Amino acid sequence: MKHITGVFLALGLSLAAASAQAPELRTFTNAQGKTIQAKMLGVSGANVTLELANGQKYSLAIASLSAADQQFIKANAFKSPADKLTPAEMNEVAGQPLFGDVILWDSSAEELATKLKIPQESKTKNASSYRSYTKEDYMLFGAHPYSVAMYAENDKITGFSLVFANKGDLFSAKGGGEMHFDKDTPPAEAAKIVKKAMDKDLAAIAETLTKKLGAPKKERFGEKAGRMNMQRWDWRGHAILLAEAEEVYVGVQIVTTAFADAGGKVEGTGDKEIRARVLANLEKRENGDVVVGDLPMVDQGPKGYCVPATAERAMRYLGIPADMYILANAGQSGFGGGTSVEMLLEGIAPQIRSKRRSFDAWQGELKMKEIAKYVDKGVPIMWRLYSTDKFNDTANKRTQDRKAVANWASWKAKVTEESAANRLPKDKDSAHVVLITGYNRDTNEIAFSDSWGEDYKERWITLPEAEQVSQGHFYVVGF
């Protein structure tokens, strides 16, 4: 979101002419007589947020506009009884200090994350995400969310994804990271337990929102396999969307009203722009490492959601919006996790291609030439493997030791000898999916990244060791 100081002068007539083709736009005039065409998104305190035809959003003081514009804003700012609720009253509805005098889309993500006690999950050059797997006493909209995720671009909030009762977290494992393989067996009546919990949360959230914001609108939202029925409430430029994925999860999304009006559909980013972006992120280090940089992290939490979490990372990196819980629904994940890779990827492939991205899949041995083919383009590879205790112990130690290497010729000799002697068993109970993100031809090592948080963003193993635990299946979201 940008502030509009001087924007009337900078935009000129060309933008105004282009904007004239778009519906729902209005001509706004500032005190100097300069005009632009834009749609009003909402009012927060003394500021109004406008959106131009090209999607750019600006916030400016209402007092800086003409008297006619100020009258229009006053007449249209609070069209419904819900809009008359103050931020303090909305926070009572939310149960958390979510809203303030400034509209969410103009607010600092870092500051709000601190206020809501949501730790940072990922930070890239332009985007960031925050996620908390909350304690039982953490409440939002009258129910307990298992996952609270906030997304931002350039520190400005773009949306929230709140996941309540769901068959992943309700039967999650004993811990996160490597511990997520240590699972309790779900009870036979798991489906009944999930349905009961989901019904309870769905009713509580709907009642909480309806009581203050009135009856919801029923709408369809999302794209392709992720398209769902939603109940929608609006408040001052914010759309609150409540969804139930049958027998899978109850979720709430908070997005701009403009995004909700568009049904959650976003335009795809062209290949030229994506190619330039990912190549700019490619790291070529002095020791010979070639690594895909600036990858977003998604922490799957204490459940077996490695497939949807990894797919979300690959999709978001290539400019395709994604959410692991929605992807898990497409992959028909089991209780506590466990997702059919083929089913998930088959379900999301149309969405990937609709955004002008390609989707490749193959089987075979791990080959340095094949890895380099994609990594050199700045694209990670989804890899199915058996993430056993011995494999993780080896990768953790190797990654730590690598940080202190001064002589890479000696390191090559060391890892070659260790790799030849190492025997890594395969264990079907440790089936896992990660991203291959880099390689070093000279030392014959590959880098990979788990969806277990920042501590697991880059780990290293030799190619022969990786082959010992490989399932021989690979997938790429590319161009």
Name the residue among 287, 308, 297 with its Cα closest to residue 438: 287
User: How, if at all, do strands 459-462 and 445-449 pair?
Assistant: antiparallel
pTM: 0.75
Q: Is the pLDDT assigned to residue 301 strictly greater than 90?
A: no
* pLDDT > 70 in the chain, percent: 84
Name the pLDDT band for 268 (thresholds 50, 70, 90): low
Average pLDDT, the chain: 85
- Among 33-47, 90-104, 180-194, 257-271, the range of highest mean pLDDT: 90-104
> Reduced to 3 DSSP states, what percent helix, strand and coil does the chain have, rounded to the nearest 5?
40, 30, 35
Answer whether 74's CB lies under 8 Å from 204's CB. no
Place of tokens 């129910």: 143
Place of tokens 């025997």: 423
- What does the alpha-carbon distance between residue 239 and residue 56 come to, in Å, rounded to a whole number? 18
φ, ψ of residue 176 in degrees (nearest 5): -90, -175
Helix (H) or strand (E) holding 446: strand 445-449
Least confident of 56-65, 94-103, 148-157, 203-212: 56-65
341-354 vs 306-317: helix crossing angle, rounded to 10: 20
Q: Is the pLDDT assigned to residue 63 strictly greater than 50?
A: yes
End-to-end CA distance of the chain: 29
Region for 220 from its dihedrals, namely left if φ exceeds 0, alpha if ψ lies in -120 to 50, beta otherwise: beta
Does residue 142 sit in helix, strand or coil?
Answer: coil
Write down the pLDDT at residue 469: 97
Extract the runs of DSSP E, i.e. beta strands, from 191-294. Answer: 217-221, 228-235, 238-245, 249-256, 282-284, 290-292
β-sheet bridge partners, residue 161: 149, 253
Write down the pLDDT at residue 60: 84
Name the pLDDT band for 152 (thresholds 50, 70, 90): very high
Domains annotated on the chain, with CATH? 2-77 (2.30.30.700), 83-261 (no CATH), 271-478 (3.90.70.10)
- What does the alpha-carbon distance between residue 371 and residue 439 come to, in Å, rounded to a whole number? 7
| Cα Rg of the chain (Å, integer) | 24
Longest dimension (CA), the chain: 80
Name the pLDDT band for 9 (thresholds 50, 70, 90): very low
Name the pLDDT band for 168 (thresholds 50, 70, 90): confident
pLDDT in tens, 180-236: 444 454 555 777 888 899 999 999 999 999 999 999 999 988 776 667 889 999 998
pLDDT in tens, 304-323: 788 889 989 998 998 888 88
Q: Which residue has the higher pLDDT, 267 or 275?
A: 275
Does residue 472 sit in helix, strand or coil?
Answer: strand
Write down the pLDDT at residue 191: 76
Write down the pLDDT at residue 1: 47
- What does the alpha-carbon distance between residue 237 and residue 253 come to, in Å, rounded to a whole number? 14
Q: What is the mean pLDDT of residues 431-451?
A: 97
Write down the pLDDT at residue 224: 67
Answer whether 172's CB lies under 8 Å from 303's CB. yes
Spatial neighbors of 39 by CB under 8 A, at least 6 apart, are 24, 25, 26, 50, 51, 258
